[in-house]
Each structure stands twice: as structure tokens, then as C-alpha cells.
């Protein structure tokens, strides 16, 4: 279930925004958005469990640099760009702006499927 360690400190003033974002993420059905399974909390942190993703984009690019991956590197890079754009399109159509696109917020599953993530980086523009 859990891929990357997902524990975040939430400022008490932002708890409602965080909870709304989690609800939105659970409603978004897309192969390009990280699917959060559950959330737990203690006095300092929220802990998120999401579907397993073996790599973030930094680690995946390092993996593709290996000599034995040479033949699939170009195809993989094209697919990454395409799936990232499709994920952003899903968010845009839902009225959501991702405010923190960076390699650590792009996850890759073992099946080579790309997933966008980031708690606290989505901004809902719809009303």
C-alpha cells in the first residue's frame, strides 16, 4: 500500500483545507493522480497511506541512466511527459491547480505508470 513516507505537519489553521484536499483527492478517479487510501493523525502529524509507487521522478531518471535501460529511455521519457500532461489535464478539468510540480512530486509505479502527488499543493478554483 504505502510507497513513499507520507507524514506531514499541518498548521492547525490549515487543517480544514488539508481535509478538503484529501476529500478531493479521494474523489478524483484518475490513473495519473496518486490515490490516497487512508489517513491517520496524532498530535503532531497526519499520516497518509497511498498506493505503492516505487520511484519518484528523480529516482526513476537515475534508473533510466543505467546502461541496460538504454533502449527504453527515450520511450519512457515521452511517456512520462504525456502522462504528466494528462494528469494536469485531469486536475484542470476538476478545477484544481497543482502549485508544486517538481520531480519529487511525480511518482512512478513499478508498472511504469506516472502519478502526480502533493498534499498541500493543490488549489481548488471551482466553487
- Give the pLDDT score at 47: 76
**Residue in the block written with cell 478554483:** 125
Residue 71: active-site member? no
Domain that holds residue 31: 7-124
- Per the domain annotation, does 2 fall within a domain? no
Parallel, antiparallel, or unpaired: how do β-strands 36-41 and 46-50 relate?
antiparallel
- Per the domain annotation, does 1 fall within a domain? no
- Per the domain annotation, does 11 fall within a domain? yes
- Per the domain annotation, does 72 fall within a domain? yes
| Domains contained in the chain, number | 1
Q: What is the CATH number of the domain that holds 16?
A: 1.10.510.10
Q: Length of the chain in residues, anyone?
A: 127
Q: What is the pLDDT of residues 28-41, one digit of tens each?
A: 889 998 887 777 77
Annotate 87-102 with b (16+ C-beta within 10 A) or e (fewer): bbebbeebebebeeee
More confident residue, 74 or 16: 74
- Per the domain annotation, does 68 fall within a domain? yes
Catalytic residue among 17, 59, 100, 113, which? 100
Hey, CA dihedral for 110, 58, 50, 21, is it positive or negative? negative
- Per the domain annotation, does 82 fall within a domain? yes
- Per the domain annotation, does 49 fall within a domain? yes
pLDDT of residue 3 exceeding 50, the answer is no
Amino acid at each position: 500500500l504505502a510507497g513513499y513516507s507520507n507524514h506531514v505537519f499541518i498548521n492547525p489553521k490549515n487543517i480544514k483545507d488539508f481535509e478538503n484536499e484529501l476529500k478531493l483527492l479521494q474523489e478524483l478517479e484518475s490513473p495519473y493522480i496518486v490515490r490516497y487510501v487512508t489517513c491517520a493523525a496524532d498530535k503532531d502529524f497526519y499520516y497518509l497511506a497511498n498506493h505503492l509507487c516505487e520511484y519518484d521522478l528523480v529516482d526513476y531518471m537515475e534508473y533510466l541512466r543505467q546502461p541496460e535501460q538504454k533502449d527504453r529511455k527515450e520511450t519512457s521519457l515521452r511517456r512520462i511527459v504525456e502522462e504528466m500532461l494528462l494528469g494536469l489535464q485531469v486536475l484542470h478539468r476538476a478545477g484544481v491547480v497543482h502549485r508544486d510540480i517538481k520531480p519529487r512530486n511525480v511518482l512512478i509505479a513499478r508498472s511504469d505508470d506516472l502519478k502526480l502527488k502533493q498534499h498541500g499543493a493543490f488549489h481548488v478554483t471551482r466553487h
